[in-house]
Structure formats: structure tokens, C-alpha cells
Structure 1
């Protein structure tokens, strides 16, 4: 961590803690829902509640991240999640928690997550030099995978059986500590009030901005949002990646929104116990750690675009394995491969966005990208649940795989002329919005 700086160390530590909380909540909430109902529609609402805030608040979170100290947003968002989940813990301990309260707790916590995650991706280029972005993103991605899947997921599986109330209590504590750790970062992480920056930052700000507010503060929020949307849509590379990510995430939300019913319980095709389902996400994390660390090397060998599209293609095809061979013996190695290719693609996409988007637009354009990329997830989760209710779970899993393959084909067609060049190379900059 030393080469990346002291501030990055605090940012990384907070990321590790908050993603450990995410892992417990991500797996624990659906498993709690399964203990309350076997309805695919109702269970899929947990996934919809977790992702709906991205559709509703992503653009506003990005615009605010470009106006306010990004570290302060992250601190407040983490503390808000801690308070909400502490209240849910009390309800569970008193035996008052039902499915609708569970959904409300997940939804509220994930609203705060939108603001925390948008600011986290926007603050990183301010905390480390640009030439270290891929390395820093690899470290951050590794922390996310370890917290989300390697540790958090199996812990959630055990807690659902032993102490259901702690499924909310443990994340509440972790989010609270994650928010306080960020206070150790030096300086301020707001854009200068005297005018927009001209390029990516090479380190954190060292003091408060001074001078009259001539930039974003005096402009309507909708104008900032509109500028970000125009920038994204007129940038061919970013637009193509965002549309593809949206299709992939919509399909994966439908797939994994009902997959827990395919895998867990006496009436499922796999018959896994909750703790065994948690081990699946641990297997995913093992692969994801490797994928995060090796993504840069793979891109150097095969090219960024070829590596990215290849990873998306492999990940899509792997979705068929649990359908064709519904066995734990095939599920766990498949989950490892999901982790490898998924994490590698994620690191490449995030690093590309951080290099291509000017720092003064980073929060807004990042949020516009994530709106397209993640906004369809609640729709996919709800659609998967309703379809499974009438057609069965198997057709949902196969249909979602088909959508993923179509998405990969579309991005290949749109950007195949860039197969031998980096996604972040200079020629891509000519695609930037001419309206700026």
C-alpha cells in the first residue's frame, strides 16, 4: 500500500470493511427471504430492492459527487447504512421482522450504497496518481471480492441458520467502522470551486478550495446531469460499454434473482443447504481475486478489448453449466471461473472509465454509465421472478444466458475496429462529446 499512498490505505481499508458488510447482506437477505416464502416473485423482490436505487438515484448521486467533498459523502452514506440496519437488527431480535420489513431495510441501505459507491469510484483518481489506477483498482477489486464473497457470503450462510438477527447486525457494525476509517484520509476531496479541473488528479487535494463559486454550485442539478448524459452518449466507446453492461446486468439479475430457488432447499434442483450456497460465492471470490490481480497482465498479452469481450463471452457461456449439470461438483468450479472472468472485466472497464472521463465530469458520467449499466437490474430481477412463477426457473436461466450472448455480440460488432488497440488509447478521445 505504501507506493499508493497513505490516503489510499484508508480508502482501501474502508472499502474492505464495507464490502464485507455487503457480502453478508447480499447473501443473507435472500436466504432470509427463502426462509419466509418459496414464491419466486417475492424472493426476486430482494434483488430488485437491492438494485432499484441505482435506477432512481444514480444520476443525482453523480452530480452531487461533483459538487461536494466525495469523502464526506462516503462517510455519511456508510453511517446511514449502519443506522438503518441496526434498526432492522432490533426488529429481528424481537421477532417482528417480516418480508416487507426486510425489503424496506435492503432498499434503504442500498440507496445509501448508490451515493457511497459513486463517490468511491470518483475519489480514487484523486487519491492515487493516474499511472497507478489499474493497480489501485485491482487492489480495490480484490478487497471487494474478499469481503463480498470469500468471507461475507459463507458467514451469511451460517448466520441465517444460527443467528438470523446478526445478518443485519454485523453489516451495521462494519458500515459504521468503514465510515469512521475514511476520516483518516488527509485533505479535501472536492473539485476546486474556482473552475473545473483539466484532467485526472495525480493526488488528493491538500486544502480547502478557495475563491468564489463560479462552477457547479450555481448551476441547476438537471443541467449537470444533462451534460453527463450527452457526454456519455456521444462517446462511442463508453456508450457501447454501458449498453452492453446494461444488457448483461439485466440478464444476470433475472438469472441470480431466482437461482437461489434452483440451488437451495428440498424442492430445488441442487438441494444445497444455505451454508453450502454461501460456499458457492466463496468459490466465486477465489476466482475473482485471481482475476483482479491478473487482469492487467492479460490485457497486456491479448489487448484490453479482446480480453474484455473474451471475459464477457466466457462468463455468459458458463451460465449454462448449472442448468445442464445441476450438481455442486460442477457449480463450485464454475463459480471460480465466473469470478476470474467477471473480476478481470470489471477492473478493465472501471480503469478505462477513470482514464477516459475528465475529473470534473467523473462523478456525473460515472453515475450516468452506471445508470445504463445497472438501472435494468431491478427490472431483470422482477421479470425473472414473474417469468419463473409461470414458466419455471429453468427457462429463466436459459433465456438470461441468451440475452448475455446477444449483448456480447453487439459490443463486438460496435467496437471490433478497436480489437488491437487499448480501450483507453488516444484515438478513443476523438469520440468525446463535441457539445462540451
Structure 2
């Protein structure tokens, strides 16, 4: 197996990563803009009438469910591909394919109203392509970035995601309004809306990312051995990923923590609406605030907290030693934030609790990704990270369903506080576990694996 020592990293590795980060950031901003625009298209073009609220809700839910389920179902396949082919080639193919599909949808929108079934098919296919791209990209960090810079690299990616989510609504709204701005100015003014322009930005951003990536040196480890056919390879690769984790309990403990954290925080957008509707009703009324204004305050605080967290970890670069504390201590604060938001009846205290809860998330994720990327051999990262995604992400829809279901019969505040307490208890147990504290000791991990048969 390849080791993850800095001596094997290309001399220009950090510059290569910055170029890769910049190109993928452009693409990610475009994707967030396109996602926002698609939701607007469904709401304003396909189902604009008041009596169409039910099909509108089903359509938006179908988008979210498709994206979430695909991330779980395709993770093993994407991980196997990332370890068996050139990771750069996978990313290039995904960027070009996504760009072509998006530009094709733009062409259709310029000529006709696109039906929902076709939009859903577009979302499914492009999300599937994105999952393969993510698997190849995430497993490439350790090939080009020195180990001591992995946390900073992941922090930069987290910052891009947050910045994209903040910028996308404004940029998409401007693009969607182009026909109105050009009223009476030729064929552009005859368009129903400017959603095609928002999608055009996304399609072009993919092609720009591909053009930059084509010029970068992104090495891949030697491909995994062939076990005889794609189906046999997939079974063997999935089994390898599970076996690798089961034989290394410290990594498995971190994965359980991530799953619990995702379960507790997956429904944060739902928390915002539920708390504004029920828990904060007396306080906002006493302040003379409308429902929309109250929700806007909470959403703004949440977005600002997430962005600042990404900025802090990108600038700081994270812990260089005992990075596990960069996971567990922020997770404790995240749990405390959930408890506070669940118990608070004060608008501004609740907004601060949301900001605290999401502020620590990029810090936690950057340290976690850095540990996984430095501890798992680079030629196994695609397959092991696939199992990591399955376990970590399958709790997202469960968390959403749990909170939504209980909140139909119970006040949402105590439910959210209980989830925060769950996170605190799990983090405290991990902090007290000597096994977890040695997660960065490679010799210890391999000793455990050898004692368990591999």
C-alpha cells in the first residue's frame, strides 16, 4: 500500500490544489445558482396557481429525495470507480457531461416549457454524475496536498460551499430577472423568465472547470486489482470498505459520531420554520415582527454563522496535532447550540444558537476529512470513503423524518433540545474513550487491524 507521507506529494501540490479548488469553486457556485433557479421554475412556471400547492410540494420534495437517496445508493459504485480508474479522468468526464446536459436543458427551455418529469430526470442524472465527481475529488486531496495542509484544504472547500449557498439566491434572482430588465428588447424579452440564463451560467462553469482541470497534474494511485467483472468488483470493493472500517474501531467511532451529528442537524432548515411558527410566536409578536421578518433574521444568522466557520478554518488551517479534538470539541458546541435553540423562546438568542450550531460545522468537517484522508491509504480512499458516505448520509433523511413526524404531536423545541443532548452525550463518550484518542496513530490502527485478521 502507498503511504500518505508528504515526501510523495508533488512539489507543486499545494498550487495544484489551489487551482483545482478555484476551478471547482466556479462550478459549485454555478450549481447552487442552477438549483435555486430550478426550484423557481417549478414554482413559477409549472405550478404557479394557488390550487397547485400540493403538486408543487411533491415536486420540490422529489428533487430533495432524489438527491439524498442517490448519494447513498451510488456511493459504493462511485468509490469503486475512483479507485479503479484515473481520478482526473473521472472528474473531467463528469464536468464535461454535466456541462453538456445543462446546456442541453437550456436549449430546451429557450424553446418550450420543460415538463416536470424531464426536470426530475435531469436532476437525477446530474446528481448521479456529481456523486462520481465528489468521490474522485475527495480521494484526490491526499495525492496532491501535504498531510499538514489537509485540514486547511478541506476548510477551503467547506468555505466555497457556504459562500455558494449565500451568493446563489442573489445571483440567480438577477439572472432570472433578465427578461424583465430587457422588456421590449427583442426575442429575449419574450421569454417567460430568465431561468435559462441561470442554467447557462452553470453549464459554462462546468466547462471552465474542465478546461482548468485538463491542465493540472492530478496523480492517481495504481488501480485496484480486477476481481472479474464489474458486479464482482463492486461486491469485493464494498466488502473491502466495510472490512477496513470494522477492523479499525477508532475510525468507526468517528463515523458513528458523524452519523449522529447528521441525524441531529439534517433538518436545520425545518427547525427554522418550526421554531418561528410555534416557539417564537409570543416573542416575535411582542416585538411587532412578522413571520417572514422573524424567519429572515434566523436564516441570515444561520448563513452568516456557517460562512464565518468556513472562513475561520480556512484561515487558521486547523490543529496540526490531536486533530480529533478539532472534531469532538466543536461537536460539543454544536450539541449545546441545538439544546439552546430548542429551549430558547427569545428570537435573538435562538438566532445566536443557530449561528453557533452551524459555525462549528465546517471546523468539524475539515478536521474529520483531514484525519480520514491522512489515515486511509490513498489507493483505498474511494472504496472506504464510499462506506463512510453511506453510513454518514443515510441518517439525513431519517433525521428529517424524525423531527417532522414528532413535531406533529410534540412541541418542536424539546425535540430539538433532545437531539442536541444526544450529540453531547456521544461526544462526551468519545472524548473519554482512549481508543478514539488514538485515531491518528497509524501504527495503533494497523495493529488493531492485524489483530482482527487484516
Q: TM-score range by the shorter chain?
A: 0.7 to 0.9
Q: Confirm or deny that 1:116 pairs with 2:133.
A: yes
Any residues of structure 2 matched to 1:261-410 within 5 Å, and which? 270-271=291-292, 282-293=303-314, 296-297=317-318, 303-319=322-338, 324=344, 336-381=355-400, 395=412, 399=415, 402-410=418-426
Deviation of residue 222 (structure 1)?
Answer: 1.0
Please give the root-mean-square deviation of Cα atoms over the aligned residues, in Å.
Answer: 3.9
Give the equivalent residue in structure 2 for 1:21: 30
Secondary structure, in 3 states, of the residue corresponding to 2:85?
A: coil
Give the equivalent residue in structure 2 for 1:201: none
Q: Confirm or deny that 1:8 pairs with 2:17.
A: yes
Deviation of residue 185 (structure 1)?
Answer: 1.2
Give the equivalent residue in structure 1 for 2:261: 248
Q: Hey, what's the Cα distance between the residues in 1 that align with 2:172 and 2:274?
A: 17
Give the equivalent residue in structure 2 for 1:205: none
Check whether the contact 2:14–2:145 (CA below 8 A) recurs between aligned residues: yes
| Structure 2: tracts of 5 or more residues without a match | 1-10, 179-193, 282-288
Deviation of residue 16 (structure 1)?
Answer: 1.2
- TM-score normalised by L of structure 2: 0.74
Give the equivalent residue in structure 1 for 2:285: none
| Structure 1: tracts of 5 or more residues without a match | 197-214
Deviation of residue 42 (structure 1)?
Answer: 5.3
Q: Hey, what's the Cα distance between the residues in 2 that align with 1:160 and 1:221?
A: 43
Check whether the contact 1:86–1:172 (CA below 8 A) recurs between aligned residues: yes
Any residues of structure 2 matched to 1:15-414 within 5 Å, and which? 15-25=24-34, 27-29=36-38, 36=47, 43-94=60-111, 96-97=113-114, 100-146=117-163, 148-156=164-172, 159=175, 163-186=194-217, 189-193=219-223, 215-216=225-226, 218=228, 220-256=233-269, 259=272, 270-271=291-292, 282-293=303-314, 296-297=317-318, 303-319=322-338, 324=344, 336-381=355-400, 395=412, 399=415, 402-414=418-430
Q: 1:431 to 1:344 in 2, by over 3 A?
A: farther
Check whether the contact 2:158–2:362 (CA below 8 A) recurs between aligned residues: yes
Deviation of residue 429 (structure 1)?
Answer: 4.2
Deviation of residue 380 (structure 1)?
Answer: 4.0
Check whether the contact 1:17–1:174 (CA below 8 A) recurs between aligned residues: yes
Check whether the contact 1:157–1:274 (CA below 8 A) recurs between aligned residues: no
Q: 1:154 to 1:244 in 2, by over 3 A?
A: farther
Deviation of residue 3 (structure 1)?
Answer: 6.2
Check whether the contact 2:106–2:196 (CA below 8 A) recurs between aligned residues: yes
Higher alpha-carbon deviation: 425-434 or 239-248: 425-434
Higher Rg: 2
Which deviations, in whole Å up to 9, do the C-alpha atoms of 1:3-33 show, x marking residues without a partner?
Answer: 6444323321222122213432455555656
Which deviations, in whole Å up to 9, do the C-alpha atoms of 1:202-257 show, x marking residues without a partner?
Answer: xxxxxxxxxxxxx2465622112101111112321221222222232234333435
- TM-score normalised by L of structure 1: 0.77
Q: 1:402 to 1:274 in 2, by over 3 A?
A: closer
Give the equivalent residue in structure 2 for 1:208: none
Q: 1:145 to 1:423 in 2, by over 3 A?
A: farther
**Equivalences, count:** 406
Q: 1:287 to 1:432 in 2, by over 3 A?
A: farther
Q: 1:346 to 1:235 in 2, by over 3 A?
A: same
Deviation of residue 285 (structure 1)?
Answer: 4.6
Q: Hey, what's the Cα distance between the residues in 2 that align with 1:383 and 1:15?
A: 34
Give the equivalent residue in structure 2 for 1:206: none
